[in-house]
Structure 1
């Protein structure tokens, strides 16, 4: 009996302990579930808040984008209107220049081509009446006062190149590109005009070495060019005889571009009534364009000047009567302008220096070559061959 009682008591105690254990476990699980529910509610509230903030941000972004689109549209309209006004001002400036410039001895070829193309009727008239003008320069005391007219002849070759005429003959020479060993000769400007858009229609001339950049000049049957290579060499070549006459090594520190907007031109050559000129940069740290007078036969350097004309933003230069005219532009091609003038004879004072603009055409000048017999510039502008006829006046002899 006593044993049975003990067994019953033990069983009861075990059942009570198990019940307490399971009750505690249930309480623990219930508390954990409640904590999880609290965290889920918190996460829901935070998610709802983030969603609302995202919606507000989307609305604000949409509103801002609409405002930016409207502002962009307004700005585009203003820019277009400004471009129209700028073109109108440029046309007015060209008109004023034409009306105020002297027109003596001008023929129909002096008319400015405003649209960049000739009509068929005008083309036929110009072919009949256009003539190459003889020399009007009798002494070297003149300075450019304005661009009298511009004539767009045709489009031949690539965006960069050189074309020029020998002042002592009617022959025209075309240098297509910025380097090569072959140039093309035409018997006259008229023959060049009558051909198609292929430079190969001219007579090819194989040079003894490669030329580079726009540093070329032709005078009295001789070609002067900058030789491609590690050194800056000037080559004199007899075109008629097909013979290399001389090569001169220039005493420059390094091969750097003389014009920052035409980096292919490490040195430029120019010919006027006073002879052969060389434009170059003496080194990378040299900010200005240097000028040298060269003997056209021996290629010896006779004298050197610092033009004080900066290389930065320069695209080309030409020399007329011993006066250097440096033409400037912008990285994004705009309207070219003469902004720096240097006279080796110190006869052109700063007050009369012509800081004039070129009529706006296609892009930027790859080359500008002055012909002293015709008083006009042979220009290469984005593949277009253009003639600028100049108006001059006497220098102030001070």
Structure 2
């Protein structure tokens, strides 16, 4: 048996939860009904509909239909009785007229069980109105809790905040090293000596890793698409360099590998994209082939590195009595842009790295090493420091800073490790250059 609820509930469902255009929220207009959906981009769409008018129209229609059906009650029952009588003698009727009469009867047939329940179900209208009043209060509470912001406005607020943060970061001066923590052991592979690195100039979506095992008699560079592939040992490409390298102090910068050509003071720039040497240039007066290495030896005379300010070479010369010389290089031509002479002996340095134009030097490659000396190329001054770091595997043969990651990459006795650095920043004023 059908009931009024069967007829009205789908209608109410469509009214309450069907799609409707968004309208301005005015609580005094009546009941507010919300529905939600997602657009093609997965964003939430919230819609609002005023139900007051719809319910009043439904109420008027129900009263009108009730009076109409009551008048039809006796007629339908009479028609039903007449139809049964006529159906008993079909031969007396013209077939066409019979079919028309039968169609009308079939269309009226569903109204009979509705009529039987109509009087009791008529109360549903007032119940619906009361339920929607309650729903209105709940939804208004949700509206107050959510606030008055839609998706576009919230997105704009996020973008504005991001721009403010970027502007704030641009006002930070280049950082000064305060602390080194770690290491994090990424992988254990290769010999005791080697180098591994990423490109600080690469886009954030690119994180290729390059791996160069040993400090001499090798010219094979392995490439991995990501750090995860590096850990898993999944190589993406292998490069066979035209010249063997010396030491472990290579650097990848803006898509090119810079390294010291074996048994020379020549710096080679090798393009990974073209697979060939782009340029090479001798570093005038620089010692090589274990004349001025770091404390561990390994032909580490010339150390190539990069930071926020560009490409650098750290080495020693006879003219500077074997003390460390810092030169900033043009990444394209390898020409020296500027040079600074320090008073720190290259042979007494364990390793070194550049951060924001300042060279930091460790006093040993063994256990107990610390960052002991810092030379600023901005002020051409130095200071002694005391910044310890944990030499977990007792022998550091490579330590380089990556400005994009703000981490130190290390080769620690056959272990590839990462150190986190803490930098001190000063906010620039408008008077600062």
* TM-score, normalisation: structure 1: 0.59
RMSD in angstroms over aligned alpha carbons?
2.6
* Distance (whole Å) between structure 2 residues aligned to residue 253 and residue 185 of structure 1: 30
Partner of 1:223: 257
How far apart are residue 339 of structure 1 and its match?
A: 0.6
Q: Is 1:189–2:266 an aligned residue pair? A: no
* Distance (whole Å) between structure 1 residues aligned to residue 351 and residue 330 of structure 2: 22
| 1:302-351, Cα deviation, whole Å (9 max, x unpaired) | 11111222223322111010010111227xx322211110010129874x
Q: Which runs of 5+ in 2 are unaligned?
A: 1-167
Q: Is 1:242–2:275 an aligned residue pair? A: yes
1:332-351 equivalences under 5 Å are: 333-346=366-379, 350=383
Partner of 1:109: none
How far apart are residue 286 of structure 1 and its match?
A: 2.0
Note closer, same or farther for the CA distance 1:140–1:214 as it changes in structure 2 (3 Å cut). farther
Partner of 2:210: 173
| 1:45-97, Cα deviation, whole Å (9 max, x unpaired) | xxxxxxxxxxxxxxxxxxxxxxxxxxxxxxxxxxxxxxxxxxxxxxxxxxxxx
* Distance (whole Å) between structure 2 residues aligned to residue 310 and residue 347 of structure 1: 17
* Distance (whole Å) between structure 2 residues aligned to residue 142 and residue 349 of structure 1: 16
Match of 1:361 among 392, 397, 421: 392
1:53-68 equivalences under 5 Å are: none
**C-alpha contact (below 8 Å) 2:208/2:226 kept by paired residues:** yes
* Distance (whole Å) between structure 1 residues aligned to residue 378 and residue 177 of structure 2: 15
Match of 2:246 among 190, 199, 212: 212
**C-alpha contact (below 8 Å) 1:348/1:395 kept by paired residues:** no
Note closer, same or farther for the CA distance 1:356–1:238 as it changes in structure 2 (3 Å cut). same
* Distance (whole Å) between structure 1 residues aligned to residue 427 and residue 344 of structure 2: 21
* Distance (whole Å) between structure 2 residues aligned to residue 334 and residue 359 of structure 1: 8
* Distance (whole Å) between structure 2 residues aligned to residue 161 and residue 292 of structure 1: 24
| 1:150-180, Cα deviation, whole Å (9 max, x unpaired) | 2111211000000111121311111100021
Note closer, same or farther for the CA distance 1:137–1:371 as it changes in structure 2 (3 Å cut). farther
1:129-144 equivalences under 5 Å are: 138=170, 140-144=173-177
Q: Is 1:262–2:297 an aligned residue pair? A: yes
**C-alpha contact (below 8 Å) 1:347/1:395 kept by paired residues:** no
How far apart are residue 359 of structure 1 and its match?
A: 1.3
* Distance (whole Å) between structure 2 residues aligned to residue 252 and residue 329 of structure 1: 25
Note closer, same or farther for the CA distance 1:227–1:153 as it changes in structure 2 (3 Å cut). same
**C-alpha contact (below 8 Å) 1:140/1:273 kept by paired residues:** no
Q: Which has the higher contact order (CA 8 A, sep 6+)?
A: 1
Q: Aligned with 2:230: secondary structure?
A: helix
**C-alpha contact (below 8 Å) 1:145/1:354 kept by paired residues:** no
Partner of 2:358: 323
